[in-house]
C-alpha cells in the first residue's frame, strides 16, 4: 500500500521515467535491425553513438537552464520533443544521418532524464519520502515491456520507424499525465543564508558511481541482443529476451530497493550490488548456452539496478535542500554520459576482440564502484559530519 501511495504521489515523474524506458528498451531490441539498415560495422555503429553523445552531454549540462525556463511544464514538453526526435533513427539509411538522428534522440532523452531526476529530488525533499528507487524501477518496467513488445513486433515484420511511431503515441498519452501532475518549483527564501558552493570532491565520486552503473546498463541494453543472436544462435524474439531480462531484473531490484534503502547504508548496498552485477557480466561473457547467458544478464540487471539510484540518493542526502536540484543535475550529467560511453566502448571492443571481451570489460568496470568510488564518497560523508 505504501508503494501505491508513492506511485500516486510521484505519478508525473513516473510517467516521465516510463517514457524514457520505452524508447531505450525498444532501441536495445532494434539494434540487430538498425545496424544493417544503416550499413555500419560494430565499430562504426559504436562510433555513431559516440558522435551522438557529445551533443547529448552538452544538452544535459544545460538541462538546469531548460528546467528553470520551462518550470512546471518541463517534463511534458521534453517528453514530446523526445518522441519526435526518435522518429528520425527509424528513417535513417546511412551512418551520418543515423549519428545525427541518434544525437537528437539522445539530447531529448538526456535532457528529460536530468530534469525528471531533479524534479523527483525536489519532490523527495518536499514530501520527506524516498522515491528514487521506485521511479527508476518504473523506468525498468517500461524498458522490459518495450523490449519484449519490440521483439514480437520484429517477428511480425515491423520496421524500426513503425516501432518508434507507435511509441510516440504512447508517449503523448504519458505527457498528458505529466502535464496534469507537475512538480512545483522548489520554494525560494530570499532571507535564507547562501549555501556553500557544491564541492566536486563530493560530486565526482557520486557521479562516477552513477557513470559505471550506466555504462554497464546501457552497454548491455544495446549489445545483449546482438551477443545472443550472433554468438549463441538466438532468433529475434530470443535475442530480445536479453535486454528484456535486464529490464525485468532491474525493475525487481529497484522496487525491492525501496525497502532495502531503509535498512542498510548506501555504501553497503552499492558494494554488494556491484559485486553481483560484475559476476553476472562475466557469466554472460563466457556463457556456453542461451540459458547461462540469460542467467548472467539477470544477475547483472539485479545488481546494477540499485547502484545509480543509491548514488543519486546518497549525494542528495549530503547537500542542503536548496542545492539538491543542482547537485542531482551535475552528477546526472556525469553519470548519464555512461549511456553514451557504454555502446561505443562495447562496439570498439567487439570489433577488435569480440562481444565476449566487451562484456568482460563491463564486469571489471563495475568493480570500480566498491573498490575505489565508495571509499572516496565515504570520506566526504565523514568530513561533513
DSSP string over 53-78? HHHHHHHHHTHHHHHHHHGGGHHHHH
pLDDT band at 380 (very low <50, low <70, confident <90, very high): confident
The Cα 362–Cα 342 span in angstroms is 9
As a whole number, mean pLDDT of residues 53-82 equals: 86
- The DSSP output letter for 365 is H
Half-sphere exposure of 72 (CA within 13 A, CB side): 10
How much is the mean pLDDT over the chain?
Answer: 86
pLDDT band at 192 (very low <50, low <70, confident <90, very high): very low
Q: Which pLDDT value is given to residue 87?
A: 95
pLDDT one-digit tens code per residue, 231-282: 888 887 788 788 888 878 888 888 887 677 667 888 899 999 999 999 999 9
The Cα 370–Cα 272 span in angstroms is 8
Closest CA to 179 of 19, 324, 332, 5: 19
pLDDT band at 43 (very low <50, low <70, confident <90, very high): confident
Q: What is the pTM of this model?
A: 0.77
SS3 185: coil
Cβ–Cβ < 8 Å for 269, 261: yes
As a whole number, mean pLDDT of residues 104-132 equals: 85
Amino acid at each position: 500500500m505504501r508503494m501505491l501511495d508513492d506511485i500516486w504521489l510521484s505519478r508525473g515523474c513516473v510517467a516521465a521515467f516510463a517514457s524514457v524506458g520505452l524508447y531505450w528498451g525498444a532501441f536495445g531490441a532494434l539494434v540487430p535491425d538498425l545496424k544493417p539498415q544503416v550499413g555500419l560495422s560494430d565499430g562504426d555503429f559504436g562510433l555513431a553513438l559516440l558522435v551522438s553523445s557529445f551533443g547529448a552531454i552538452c544538452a544535459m549540462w544545460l538541462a538546469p537552464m531548460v528546467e528553470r525556463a520551462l518550470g512546471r511544464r518541463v517534463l511534458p514538453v521534453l517528453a514530446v520533443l523526445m518522441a519526435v526526435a526518435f522518429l528520425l533513427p527509424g528513417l535513417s539509411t546511412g551512418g551520418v544521418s543515423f549519428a545525427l538522428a541518434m544525437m537528437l534522440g539522445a539530447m531529448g532523452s538526456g535532457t528529460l532524464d536530468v530534469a525528471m531526476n531533479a524534479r523527483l529530488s525536489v519532490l523527495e525533499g518536499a514530501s520527506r519520502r524516498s522515491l528514487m528507487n521506485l521511479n527508476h524501477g518504473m523506468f525498468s518496467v517500461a524498458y522490459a515491456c518495450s523490449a519484449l513488445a519490440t521483439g514480437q513486433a520484429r517477428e511480425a515484420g515491423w520496421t524500426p520507424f513503425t516501432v518508434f511511431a507507435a511509441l510516440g503515441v504512447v508517449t503523448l498519452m504519458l505527457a498528458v499525465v505529466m502535464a496534469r501532475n507537475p512538480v512545483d518549483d522548489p520554494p525560494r527564501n530570499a532571507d535564507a543564508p547562501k549555501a556553500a558552493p557544491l564541492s566536486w570532491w563530493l560530486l565526482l565520486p557520486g557521479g562516477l558511481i552513477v557513470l559505471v552503473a550506466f555504462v554497464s546498463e546501457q552497454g548491455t541494453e544495446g549489445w545483449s541482443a546482438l551477443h545472443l543472436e550472433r554468438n549463441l544462435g538466438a532468433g529475434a524474439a530470443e535475442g530480445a529476451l536479453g535486454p528484456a531480462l535486464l529490464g525485468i531484473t532491474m525493475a525487481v531490484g529497484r522496487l525491492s530497493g525501496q525497502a532495502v534503502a531503509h535498512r542498510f547504508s548506501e555504501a553497503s548496498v552499492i558494494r554488494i550490488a556491484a559485486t553481483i552485477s560484475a559476476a553476472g557480466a562475466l557469466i554472460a561473457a563466457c556463457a556456453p548456452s542461451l540459458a547461462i547467458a540469460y542467467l548472467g544478464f539477470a544477475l547483472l540487471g539485479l545488481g546494477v539496478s540499485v547502484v545509480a539510484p543509491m548514488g543519486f540518493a546518497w549525494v542528495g542526502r549530503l547537500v542542503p535542500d536548496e542545492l539538491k536540484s543542482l547537485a542531482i543535475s551535475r552528477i546526472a550529467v556525469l553519470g548519464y554520459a555512461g549511456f553514451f560511453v557504454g555502446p561505443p566502448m562495447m562496439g570498439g571492443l567487439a570489433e577488435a576482440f569480440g562481444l565476449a571481451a566487451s562484456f568482460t570489460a563491463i564486469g571489471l568496470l563495475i568493480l570500480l564502484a566498491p573498490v575505489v568510488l565508495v571509499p572516496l564518497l565515504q570520506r566526504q560523508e565523514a568530513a561533513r559530519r
